[in-house]
Amino acid sequence: MTPQAAVRDRYPLVVGDQEVATSAKMTAKAPGTGETVAEVPLADAEVVDQAVRAATDAQPGWAGLSAAERGRLLRDLADAVRGQSERLARIDAQDSGNPLAAMRNDVAYGADALDYFAGIARELHGKTLPASANGLHLTLREPCGVVARILPFNHPLMFTLFHAAAPLAAGNTVIVKAPDQTPISPLEVAYLAREILPPGVLTVLTGDGATTGEALVAHPGIGRIGFTGRGTTGLRVMEAAAASGHVKHVTVELGGKNPLLVAPDADPAYVAEQAVGGMNFESSQGQSCGSTSRMYVPAGMRDEVVDAVAARLDQIRVGDPLDPATTMGPLVSEPQLTRVRGYVEAGKSEGARLVRGGDTPGGVPEGGYYLAPTLFDQVTPGHVIAAEEIFGPVLSVLEWQDRDDLIAQANATRYGLTANIITNDLDWAVDTARRVQAGCVWINGRGQHFLETPFGGYKDSGLGAEGSMESLLSYTRTKVVHILDIGARP
């Protein structure tokens, strides 16, 4: 058995300059074995209020630092994360089930996000506007105040750093609601931040959505909320914010049922590689809002592409996420495994052809939540597996013959997060990219993310975007200053 990650004996909350214990606890389980690895606090409304008050007290001083000074502290935090990169990656692999190699990449990306936003914060500026002949008209960019960030389970450490970086760089204080299923690495970030940032600037709270999440959303001291996760939960966040009796700025990055559109000139082996990469089999077991789970293939090359994808899936090694040889780990929890298996059974019962997977692979640790990478062929638009977000390692292949019908099928979903296009034909690629209803489109390659570009969706995939200057600006408010009667006063 691979050695387990080095977790702490206790995981207190840090609120302001105090460690806070709670009577109610939550258990963190290792999805690779099903064993409990730690207990973490369940923050109730009283603890949430303490955290908001500490963040409110800290915010003027944090915003009063220059962008350069805030940036220096954020870069120090990035360096501290890098200094513990292997330990943090192992904790994340054990806590989330994602393979260790992918979690090493997550640690690096999260630290890079701190560096990136620390740098571009110095570019936050207002404008001068020629609104009158004898006046000077200015806009200023000011922070929102206290920001709540509510995170999903699939990339706990990376999302803690990435989603806190922009609001912190803009001068806000941030309260992170850690994922229920994967709370350990966000707390580790809080302990690193305690040694670098002023008290109250970055707070991490653990707890469930019904207790901790709802108290955060409803709190009158929080005016800016960013949520990433399932669509139904995002709608509840928006409803709870509206019901709080206070106007709140809410952005949500939600789910996707993302198409991979294969042109007739595409190479089947290349398609297979991008299909497996785009599904995130080997980074999060397909548990990603950006996974391209609907692959549309021209009728004349479907069999060749399906065979190539099946061969590539055969190369995936499912196992203990802490084993360096593992390329795909378990799903995050037993309920998640049960949910995804339900979709596999639905695919079979509706007549799709199961090509690979759908069951527990051999040789995996006992008690873990494992499912083999799964491929369905002969899927039609009416099948459940073609319509609903599965959030697991299930890829569906659909056939297309008419290009206009292809675009119509790709857009026939409530979601509009991402799309991938595989072709060497520039006209085909650009025309398809324009017509597909998605906030992020990749032409060739797979769904790589870049800090310099925004990421967000259309339709029920969300409101707002993360990453880039666009994200930084969204954590500021515009103030207009009018200086009048210049040279005309007595």
Please list the pLDDT of the chain residue by residue as tens digits (490 residues).
577 888 898 999 999 999 998 999 999 999 999 999 999 999 999 999 999 999 999 999 999 999 999 999 999 999 999 999 999 999 999 999 999 999 999 999 999 999 999 999 999 999 999 999 999 999 999 999 999 999 999 999 999 999 999 999 999 999 999 999 999 999 999 999 999 999 999 999 999 999 999 999 999 999 999 999 999 999 999 999 999 999 999 999 999 999 999 999 999 999 999 999 999 999 999 999 999 999 999 999 999 999 999 999 999 999 999 999 999 999 999 999 999 999 999 999 999 999 999 999 999 999 999 999 999 999 999 999 999 999 999 999 999 999 999 999 999 999 999 999 999 999 999 999 999 999 999 999 988 899 999 999 999 999 999 999 999 999 999 999 999 999 887 8
Q: What is the pLDDT of residue 1?
A: 54
Active-site position among 144, 188, 214, 289: 289
Tokens of 385: 């597996």
475 vs 299: CA distance, rounded Å: 47
> pTM score, two decimals?
0.96
Q: What is the pLDDT of residue 324?
A: 95
268 vs 378: CA distance, rounded Å: 17
432 vs 421: CA distance, rounded Å: 8
408 vs 372: CA distance, rounded Å: 31
Q: What is the pLDDT of residue 25?
A: 96
Residue partners of 20: CB distance under 8 A and separation at least 6: 12, 13, 14, 41, 47, 50
Measure CA 410 to chain center.
Answer: 23
Residue located via tokens 């077991």: 285
CB atoms within 10 A of CB 59: 22
Active-site position among 144, 188, 214, 253: 253
Residue 253 annotated as catalytic: yes
13 vs 23: CA distance, rounded Å: 12
446 vs 483: CA distance, rounded Å: 51
- SS3 at position 221: coil
418 vs 423: CA distance, rounded Å: 17
Q: Which of 217, 221, 213, 210 is nearest to 242 (CA)?
A: 217
Tokens of 164: 């806190």
**Pairing status of strand 202-205 against strand 462-463:** unpaired
Residue-wise DSSP of 148-216:
EEE--SSSHHHHHHHHHHHHHHTT-EEEEE--SS--HHHHHHHHHHHTTSPTTSEEEE---IIIIIHHH
Q: What is the pLDDT of residue 47?
A: 98
196 vs 184: CA distance, rounded Å: 19
As beta bridge partners, residue 483 has: 136
156 vs 179: CA distance, rounded Å: 7
Residue 353: its H or E element: strand 353-356
Q: What is the pLDDT of residue 490?
A: 80
Measure CA 243 to chain center.
Answer: 26
